[in-house]
């Protein structure tokens, strides 16, 4: 069921965004008098098709949902009747061709604004940015952050949730080494701090271990040390541990929560430990020897057991960002501009090799994010759609032949030279563009698989 949900979420998300992008090309072409022959969402074998409208445009849904296209009347792609020559794309003035090409990415940005607007009207919730633990010697500790502090502002922008803090710090780290924070302590006192990230690589801040490298862990619900699901044949099952067992202590050391229990297990791979558990009101002592397994951090202990689940934090630890329909317009515009700026900064840093290309994500990661956000709720799914729509718009504006940005590059050359780029040059550009896209997709797939199996 999880796999089906993942596939369904991916197809819905990507299909919607591709449709928006291609509809931009389609509607502007129609409005400017260009004849559209086909509107296709997806590539490959058609799963559904229908002809409609005065021009009998063919609408197609194809089998491979990784793109789409709008086919227009064009003398370069086939013979055109003399009466229809004024409606051929290649016969249009330069400004018309530019408008049609730009319309696809533009509609992606407009869709992002709409998605953010709807998200802010519905309201999006998240954990308030309250610090739980601070690692000694970390950037957070050196800045003066302490347990119980709530980060209320990053670089002059309000932060209602941890997600806002993360985005603010990542955005700041791309441009500056020092970031201004405003925090509120337990006594409601406000103070200004300077977070120095000079010694922290951008990859660490932008990567999955954000909180570890920052050195400030968010206040989360405590996971009690209660055994949930067991892995068949694992050390926990072999020792006699059962679902529902509460870990009281290990080698006479009390276990306060699941993280403490997991850390102890990982530190004792291959060593027998005495585990005191509470089972149905009875205290038992079980001898357990964690298996030794290889991990990124070295050889660790593993027993093959999952936690029963976390206790939920009270409502006072959550914040909801919600605005009136009118106020949400400004917030949506600002958010879209912010994400566009952040995406462009990340892209430029990658091109300058200041950030690893490992940060690129492909279809597998997109499918995972789509499924995860859809499970959380509509607001998070809308946020996901907005981010991917912005990425799709920016990607298509890159000056790579066969992408919209490549066509715009040709049109700019035509504008300065006074004549179109030769067909031979365009064919060569297509080959180069296809090679670049294949390489980019290959790298994205590799990153996805590396994350999946790491």
What does the alpha-carbon distance between residue 415 and residue 26 come to, in Å, rounded to a whole number?
24
Name the average pLDDT for the chain.
87
User: Looking at residues 296-320, what average pLDDT do you find?
Assistant: 75
**Complete domains list, the chain, with CATH:** 1-24+92-122+327-454 (no CATH), 124-221+312-321 (2.30.42.10), 227-307 (2.30.42.10)
Handedness of CA 429, 431, 437, 442 (dihedral sign): negative
Judge whether residue 453 has pLDDT over 70.
Answer: no
Task: Tell me if residue 58 is catalytic.
Answer: no
pLDDT confidence tier of residue 409, bands split at 50, 70 and 90 = very high
Judge whether residue 282 has pLDDT over 60.
Answer: yes
Judge whether residue 251 has pLDDT over 60.
Answer: yes
Residue 58: helix, strand or coil by DSSP? strand
- The answer to whether the CB of 212 falls within 8 A of the CB of 193 is no
Least confident segment among 108-122, 174-188, 222-236, 375-389: 174-188
Judge whether residue 128 has pLDDT over 70.
Answer: yes
User: Looking at residues 120-148, what average pLDDT do you find?
Assistant: 90
Give pLDDT tens digits for 336-349: 999 999 888 888 88
Judge whether residue 212 has pLDDT over 70.
Answer: yes
**pLDDT value of position 202:** 75
- The answer to whether the CB of 205 falls within 8 A of the CB of 169 is yes
pLDDT confidence tier of residue 314, bands split at 50, 70 and 90 = low
**pLDDT value of position 451:** 65
Least confident segment among 177-181, 371-375, 445-449: 445-449
Give pLDDT tens digits for 46-97: 899 999 989 999 999 998 887 899 999 998 888 888 899 999 999 999 999 9
What does the alpha-carbon distance between residue 91 and residue 55 come to, in Å, rounded to a whole number?
18
The whole model's pTM is what?
A: 0.79
CB atoms within 10 A of CB 240: 13
pLDDT confidence tier of residue 247, bands split at 50, 70 and 90 = very high
What does the alpha-carbon distance between residue 89 and residue 36 come to, in Å, rounded to a whole number?
9
Q: Where are the beta strands (DSSP E) in 74-203?
A: 124-127, 131-134, 150-154, 157-158, 178-184, 190-196
pLDDT confidence tier of residue 208, bands split at 50, 70 and 90 = low
> 20: closest CA among 341, 433, 337, 390?
390
pLDDT confidence tier of residue 295, bands split at 50, 70 and 90 = low
Judge whether residue 168 has pLDDT over 90.
Answer: no
Under 8 Å CB-to-CB from 59, ≥6 apart: which residues? Answer: 38, 39, 40, 49, 50, 51, 52
High-pLDDT (> 70) share of the chain, %: 95
What does the alpha-carbon distance between residue 211 and residue 205 come to, in Å, rounded to a whole number?
8
Q: Return the DSSP state at 369.
A: H
User: Looking at residues 320-332, what average pLDDT do you find?
Assistant: 94
CA dihedral of 222, 225, 231, 237, whole degrees rounded to 10: 180
User: Looking at residues 226-244, what average pLDDT do you find?
Assistant: 90
Q: Catalytic residue among 22, 150, 321, 383, which?
A: 22
Cα 19 from chain centre: 20
**pLDDT value of position 297:** 57
**pLDDT value of position 28:** 96
User: Looking at residues 295-309, what average pLDDT do you find?
Assistant: 78
User: Looking at residues 342-357, what average pLDDT do you find?
Assistant: 81
Q: Which residue has the higher pLDDT, 308 or 268?
A: 268
């Amino acid at each position: 069921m999880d796999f089906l949900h993942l596939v369904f979420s991916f197809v819905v998300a990507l299909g919607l965004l591709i449709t928006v992008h291609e509809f931009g090309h389609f509607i502007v072409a129609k409005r400017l008098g260009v004849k559209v022959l086909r509107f296709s969402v997806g590539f490959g074998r058609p799963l559904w098709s229908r002809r409609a409208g005065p021009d009998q445009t063919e609408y197609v849904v194809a089998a491979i949902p990784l793109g789409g296209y709008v086919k227009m009347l064009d003398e370069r792609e086939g013979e055109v009747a003399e009466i229809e020559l004024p409606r051929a794309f290649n016969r249009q003035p330069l400004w018309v061709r530019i408008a049609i090409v730009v319309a696809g990415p533009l509609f992606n940005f407009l869709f992002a604004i709409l998605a953010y607007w709807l998200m802010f009207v519905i309201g999006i919730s998240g954990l308030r940015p309250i610090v739980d633990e601070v690692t000694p010697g970390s950037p957070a500790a050196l800045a003066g952050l302490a347990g119980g502090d709530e980060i209320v502002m990053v670089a002059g922008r309000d932060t209602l949730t941890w997600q806002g803090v993360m985005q603010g710090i990542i955005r700041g780290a791309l441009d500056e080494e020092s970031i201004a924070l405003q925090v509120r302590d337990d006594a409601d006192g406000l103070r200004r701090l300077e977070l120095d990230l000079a010694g922290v690589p951008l990859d660490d801040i932008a990567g999955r271990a954000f909180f570890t490298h920052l050195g400030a862990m968010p206040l989360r619900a405590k996971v009690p040390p209660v055994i949930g699901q067991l892995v068949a044949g694992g050390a926990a099952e072999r020792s006699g541990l059962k679902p529902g067992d509460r870990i009281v202590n290990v080698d006479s050391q009390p276990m306060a929560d699941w993280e403490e229990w997991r850390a102890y297990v990982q530190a004792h791979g291959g060593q027998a430990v005495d585990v005191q558990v509470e089972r149905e009101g009875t205290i038992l002592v079980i001898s357990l020897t964690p298996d030794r397994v290889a991990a990124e951090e070295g050889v660790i202990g593993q027993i093959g057991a999952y936690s029963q689940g976390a206790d939920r934090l009270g409502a006072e630890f959550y914040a909801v960002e919600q605005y009136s329909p009118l106020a949400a317009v400004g917030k949506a515009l600002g958010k879209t501009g912010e994400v566009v700026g952040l995406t462009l900064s990340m892209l430029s840093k990658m091109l300058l090799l200041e950030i690893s290309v490992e940060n690129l994500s492909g279809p597998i990661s997109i499918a995972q994010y789509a499924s995860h956000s859809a499970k959380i709720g509509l607001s998070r799914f809308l946020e996901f759609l907005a981010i991917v729509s912005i990425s799709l718009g920016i990607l298509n504006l890159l000056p790579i032949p066969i992408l919209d940005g490549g066509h715009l590059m040709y049109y700019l050359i035509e504008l300065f030279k006074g004549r179109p780029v030769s067909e031979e040059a365009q064919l060569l550009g297509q080959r180069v563009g296809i090679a670049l896209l294949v390489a980019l997709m290959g790298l994205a797939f590799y990153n996805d698989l590396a994350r999946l199996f790491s």
